[in-house]
Amino acid sequence: MTTPNTFVGPEGRRLAYHLTPGRGPWIIFLGGLKSDMEGTKALHLEDWARAQGRAFLRFDYSGHGQSSEAFEEGCIGDWAEDTYQIIQALTDGPILPVGSSMGGWQALLLAKRLADRITGLVTIAAAPDFTEDSYWAGFSDAQRAQLQEDGRVEIPSDYMEPYVITWRMIEDGRKHLVLRSPLDLPFPVRCLQGTADTAVSTETALHLVDHATCPDMRLTLVKDADHRFSDGPCLGIIETAIEEILALAE
Protein backbone atom coordinates (compact mmCIF):
# COMPACT_ATOMS: atom_id res chain seq x y z
CA MET A 1 0.00 0.00 0.00
CA THR A 2 1.55 3.30 -1.08
CA THR A 3 1.20 6.45 1.00
CA PRO A 4 -1.74 8.51 -0.25
CA ASN A 5 -1.88 12.21 -0.90
CA THR A 6 -4.18 14.34 1.25
CA PHE A 7 -6.81 16.86 0.22
CA VAL A 8 -8.31 19.16 2.86
CA GLY A 9 -11.81 20.31 2.03
CA PRO A 10 -13.55 23.53 3.10
CA GLU A 11 -14.97 21.78 6.18
CA GLY A 12 -11.48 20.72 7.31
CA ARG A 13 -11.98 17.02 6.58
CA ARG A 14 -8.77 15.39 5.32
CA LEU A 15 -9.38 13.07 2.39
CA ALA A 16 -6.79 10.49 1.34
CA TYR A 17 -6.45 10.00 -2.41
CA HIS A 18 -4.36 8.59 -5.25
CA LEU A 19 -4.30 10.35 -8.59
CA THR A 20 -2.98 8.92 -11.86
CA PRO A 21 -2.32 11.51 -14.58
CA GLY A 22 -3.33 10.79 -18.16
CA ARG A 23 -5.69 11.83 -20.90
CA GLY A 24 -9.30 12.54 -20.14
CA PRO A 25 -12.07 12.08 -19.45
CA TRP A 26 -11.07 11.56 -15.82
CA ILE A 27 -12.25 8.18 -14.54
CA ILE A 28 -13.27 8.60 -10.91
CA PHE A 29 -14.01 5.64 -8.66
CA LEU A 30 -16.64 6.21 -5.97
CA GLY A 31 -16.65 3.45 -3.36
CA GLY A 32 -19.40 2.00 -1.24
CA LEU A 33 -20.44 2.45 2.37
CA LYS A 34 -17.54 1.60 4.71
CA SER A 35 -15.45 0.54 1.72
CA ASP A 36 -12.17 2.20 0.87
CA MET A 37 -9.99 3.00 -2.12
CA GLU A 38 -7.81 -0.10 -1.59
CA GLY A 39 -10.57 -2.46 -2.74
CA THR A 40 -10.29 -4.85 -5.66
CA LYS A 41 -12.35 -2.77 -8.11
CA ALA A 42 -10.58 0.51 -7.35
CA LEU A 43 -7.09 -0.96 -7.68
CA HIS A 44 -7.97 -2.95 -10.79
CA LEU A 45 -9.42 0.09 -12.54
CA GLU A 46 -6.42 2.19 -11.56
CA ASP A 47 -4.09 -0.38 -13.16
CA TRP A 48 -6.34 -0.55 -16.22
CA ALA A 49 -6.45 3.25 -16.56
CA ARG A 50 -2.67 3.52 -16.20
CA ALA A 51 -2.17 0.91 -18.93
CA GLN A 52 -4.56 2.88 -21.16
CA GLY A 53 -2.89 6.21 -20.39
CA ARG A 54 -6.12 7.42 -18.79
CA ALA A 55 -6.48 9.92 -15.95
CA PHE A 56 -7.83 8.22 -12.81
CA LEU A 57 -8.78 9.29 -9.28
CA ARG A 58 -9.63 7.14 -6.27
CA PHE A 59 -10.18 8.50 -2.76
CA ASP A 60 -11.65 7.76 0.64
CA TYR A 61 -14.70 9.65 1.88
CA SER A 62 -14.35 11.13 5.35
CA GLY A 63 -14.80 8.42 7.97
CA HIS A 64 -13.59 5.81 5.49
CA GLY A 65 -10.23 4.19 4.90
CA GLN A 66 -7.30 6.53 5.45
CA SER A 67 -9.30 9.76 5.59
CA SER A 68 -10.05 11.71 8.75
CA GLU A 69 -13.20 11.67 10.93
CA ALA A 70 -15.19 8.77 12.37
CA PHE A 71 -17.61 6.81 10.21
CA GLU A 72 -20.41 7.23 12.76
CA GLU A 73 -20.18 11.01 12.44
CA GLY A 74 -20.74 11.02 8.69
CA CYS A 75 -23.77 10.97 6.42
CA ILE A 76 -24.73 10.94 2.76
CA GLY A 77 -24.53 14.72 2.45
CA ASP A 78 -21.03 14.86 3.98
CA TRP A 79 -19.76 12.25 1.53
CA ALA A 80 -21.47 14.00 -1.38
CA GLU A 81 -19.66 17.21 -0.43
CA ASP A 82 -16.37 15.30 -0.11
CA THR A 83 -16.90 13.93 -3.62
CA TYR A 84 -17.79 17.27 -5.15
CA GLN A 85 -14.96 19.19 -3.51
CA ILE A 86 -12.16 16.75 -4.31
CA ILE A 87 -13.25 16.38 -7.93
CA GLN A 88 -13.49 20.12 -8.41
CA ALA A 89 -10.08 20.67 -6.82
CA LEU A 90 -8.07 17.87 -8.42
CA THR A 91 -9.55 17.37 -11.89
CA ASP A 92 -10.57 19.47 -14.85
CA GLY A 93 -12.56 18.86 -17.99
CA PRO A 94 -14.86 15.88 -18.60
CA ILE A 95 -15.27 13.19 -15.94
CA LEU A 96 -16.58 9.62 -15.96
CA PRO A 97 -17.67 8.58 -12.45
CA VAL A 98 -17.79 4.87 -11.66
CA GLY A 99 -19.95 4.42 -8.57
CA SER A 100 -20.17 1.19 -6.58
CA SER A 101 -23.11 0.58 -4.21
CA MET A 102 -23.40 3.76 -2.11
CA GLY A 103 -20.98 5.27 -4.63
CA GLY A 104 -23.71 4.81 -7.23
CA TRP A 105 -25.96 7.08 -5.15
CA GLN A 106 -23.07 9.52 -4.84
CA ALA A 107 -22.59 9.48 -8.60
CA LEU A 108 -26.27 10.34 -9.11
CA LEU A 109 -26.00 13.21 -6.61
CA LEU A 110 -22.89 14.40 -8.43
CA ALA A 111 -24.87 14.40 -11.67
CA LYS A 112 -27.21 16.98 -10.17
CA ARG A 113 -24.27 19.33 -9.50
CA LEU A 114 -21.82 18.62 -12.31
CA ALA A 115 -23.91 17.40 -15.25
CA ASP A 116 -22.01 19.74 -17.57
CA ARG A 117 -18.73 17.93 -16.78
CA ILE A 118 -20.00 14.33 -16.83
CA THR A 119 -19.33 12.56 -20.12
CA GLY A 120 -21.00 9.37 -18.93
CA LEU A 121 -21.66 7.29 -15.85
CA VAL A 122 -21.14 3.68 -14.77
CA THR A 123 -22.87 2.25 -11.69
CA ILE A 124 -22.12 -1.09 -10.04
CA ALA A 125 -24.88 -2.41 -7.77
CA ALA A 126 -26.05 1.17 -7.28
CA ALA A 127 -27.85 1.76 -3.99
CA PRO A 128 -29.73 5.06 -4.32
CA ASP A 129 -31.93 6.05 -1.37
CA PHE A 130 -30.82 3.00 0.67
CA THR A 131 -31.01 4.84 4.00
CA GLU A 132 -34.76 5.17 3.46
CA ASP A 133 -35.73 2.20 1.29
CA SER A 134 -33.47 -0.41 2.90
CA TYR A 135 -32.53 0.74 6.39
CA TRP A 136 -35.55 2.73 7.59
CA ALA A 137 -38.08 0.60 5.71
CA GLY A 138 -36.54 -2.56 7.13
CA PHE A 139 -36.22 -1.46 10.75
CA SER A 140 -38.53 -2.87 13.38
CA ASP A 141 -40.55 -0.55 15.61
CA ALA A 142 -37.99 -1.22 18.36
CA GLN A 143 -35.07 -0.26 16.11
CA ARG A 144 -36.83 2.92 15.00
CA ALA A 145 -37.50 3.83 18.60
CA GLN A 146 -33.88 3.14 19.55
CA LEU A 147 -32.66 5.30 16.68
CA GLN A 148 -34.74 8.25 17.78
CA GLU A 149 -34.00 7.81 21.49
CA ASP A 150 -30.31 6.81 21.40
CA GLY A 151 -29.38 8.34 18.05
CA ARG A 152 -27.90 5.08 16.75
CA VAL A 153 -28.51 1.41 16.10
CA GLU A 154 -26.25 -1.43 14.96
CA ILE A 155 -27.16 -3.68 12.06
CA PRO A 156 -25.28 -6.78 10.89
CA SER A 157 -23.23 -6.82 7.69
CA ASP A 158 -22.42 -9.72 5.39
CA TYR A 159 -18.98 -8.26 4.73
CA MET A 160 -17.53 -6.82 7.95
CA GLU A 161 -18.37 -5.79 11.52
CA PRO A 162 -21.88 -4.41 12.16
CA TYR A 163 -22.74 -1.02 10.72
CA VAL A 164 -23.60 1.75 13.15
CA ILE A 165 -26.53 3.63 11.63
CA THR A 166 -27.28 7.01 13.17
CA TRP A 167 -30.43 9.07 13.27
CA ARG A 168 -28.43 11.82 11.58
CA MET A 169 -27.69 9.50 8.65
CA ILE A 170 -31.39 8.68 8.25
CA GLU A 171 -32.50 12.31 8.48
CA ASP A 172 -29.75 13.52 6.16
CA GLY A 173 -30.46 10.74 3.69
CA ARG A 174 -34.00 12.08 3.30
CA LYS A 175 -32.55 15.36 2.04
CA HIS A 176 -30.65 13.58 -0.73
CA LEU A 177 -33.15 11.07 -2.12
CA VAL A 178 -32.97 10.75 -5.92
CA LEU A 179 -35.84 8.37 -6.70
CA ARG A 180 -38.64 10.62 -5.41
CA SER A 181 -38.23 13.49 -7.88
CA PRO A 182 -37.16 13.85 -11.51
CA LEU A 183 -33.67 12.48 -12.20
CA ASP A 184 -32.20 13.84 -15.41
CA LEU A 185 -29.06 12.08 -16.65
CA PRO A 186 -28.23 13.76 -19.99
CA PHE A 187 -25.34 11.45 -20.89
CA PRO A 188 -24.76 7.71 -21.46
CA VAL A 189 -25.26 5.53 -18.37
CA ARG A 190 -24.32 1.89 -17.90
CA CYS A 191 -25.76 0.12 -14.84
CA LEU A 192 -24.29 -3.23 -13.75
CA GLN A 193 -26.06 -5.54 -11.31
CA GLY A 194 -25.54 -9.09 -10.05
CA THR A 195 -28.56 -11.35 -9.64
CA ALA A 196 -27.08 -12.93 -6.47
CA ASP A 197 -26.60 -9.56 -4.77
CA THR A 198 -28.05 -9.79 -1.24
CA ALA A 199 -27.45 -6.10 -0.45
CA VAL A 200 -29.03 -4.45 -3.50
CA SER A 201 -31.87 -6.13 -5.36
CA THR A 202 -32.40 -6.32 -9.10
CA GLU A 203 -35.67 -4.48 -8.42
CA THR A 204 -33.64 -1.49 -7.22
CA ALA A 205 -31.66 -1.50 -10.47
CA LEU A 206 -34.82 -1.74 -12.55
CA HIS A 207 -36.43 1.06 -10.54
CA LEU A 208 -33.48 3.34 -11.21
CA VAL A 209 -33.55 2.66 -14.94
CA ASP A 210 -37.32 3.16 -15.09
CA HIS A 211 -37.20 6.36 -13.02
CA ALA A 212 -34.36 8.26 -14.68
CA THR A 213 -34.65 10.36 -17.80
CA CYS A 214 -31.67 9.45 -19.98
CA PRO A 215 -30.98 9.29 -23.74
CA ASP A 216 -28.82 6.15 -23.48
CA MET A 217 -29.21 4.08 -20.32
CA ARG A 218 -28.58 0.34 -20.22
CA LEU A 219 -28.78 -2.23 -17.46
CA THR A 220 -26.63 -5.36 -17.52
CA LEU A 221 -27.71 -8.18 -15.20
CA VAL A 222 -25.01 -10.71 -14.44
CA LYS A 223 -26.31 -14.09 -13.33
CA ASP A 224 -24.97 -15.26 -9.95
CA ALA A 225 -22.74 -12.21 -9.43
CA ASP A 226 -22.81 -10.95 -5.83
CA HIS A 227 -22.61 -7.46 -4.36
CA ARG A 228 -18.83 -7.32 -4.54
CA PHE A 229 -18.94 -7.66 -8.35
CA SER A 230 -15.17 -8.07 -8.31
CA ASP A 231 -14.24 -11.47 -9.76
CA GLY A 232 -12.43 -11.64 -13.09
CA PRO A 233 -15.48 -11.72 -15.38
CA CYS A 234 -17.18 -8.88 -13.48
CA LEU A 235 -14.06 -6.71 -13.65
CA GLY A 236 -14.03 -7.29 -17.40
CA ILE A 237 -17.67 -6.22 -17.63
CA ILE A 238 -16.83 -2.99 -15.78
CA GLU A 239 -13.99 -2.31 -18.20
CA THR A 240 -16.31 -2.88 -21.16
CA ALA A 241 -18.89 -0.45 -19.77
CA ILE A 242 -16.23 2.24 -19.32
CA GLU A 243 -14.85 1.60 -22.81
CA GLU A 244 -18.34 1.96 -24.32
CA ILE A 245 -18.77 5.39 -22.77
CA LEU A 246 -15.25 6.51 -23.68
CA ALA A 247 -15.87 5.46 -27.29
CA LEU A 248 -19.05 7.55 -27.38
CA ALA A 249 -17.16 10.56 -25.98
CA GLU A 250 -14.36 10.44 -28.54
pLDDT digits (tens, 9 = 90+) for 10-68: 999 999 999 999 999 999 999 999 999 999 999 999 999 999 999 999 999 999 999 99
Confirm if 182 and 213 have CB atoms less than 8 A apart: yes
- Mean pLDDT computed over 105-113: 97
Structural domains of the chain ordered from first start: 5-129+178-249 (3.40.50.1820)
For 129-169, the pLDDT digits (tens) are 999 999 999 999 999 999 999 999 988 776 667 788 999 99
207: pLDDT strictly greater than 80: yes
Give the span between the Cα atoms of 60 and 14, in whole angstroms.
Answer: 9
Answering whether pTM is above 0.85, one says yes
pLDDT at residue 249, rounded to an integer: 84
DSSP percent split of the chain into helix, strand, coil, nearest 5: 40, 25, 35
pLDDT at residue 195, rounded to an integer: 97
pLDDT at residue 159, rounded to an integer: 63
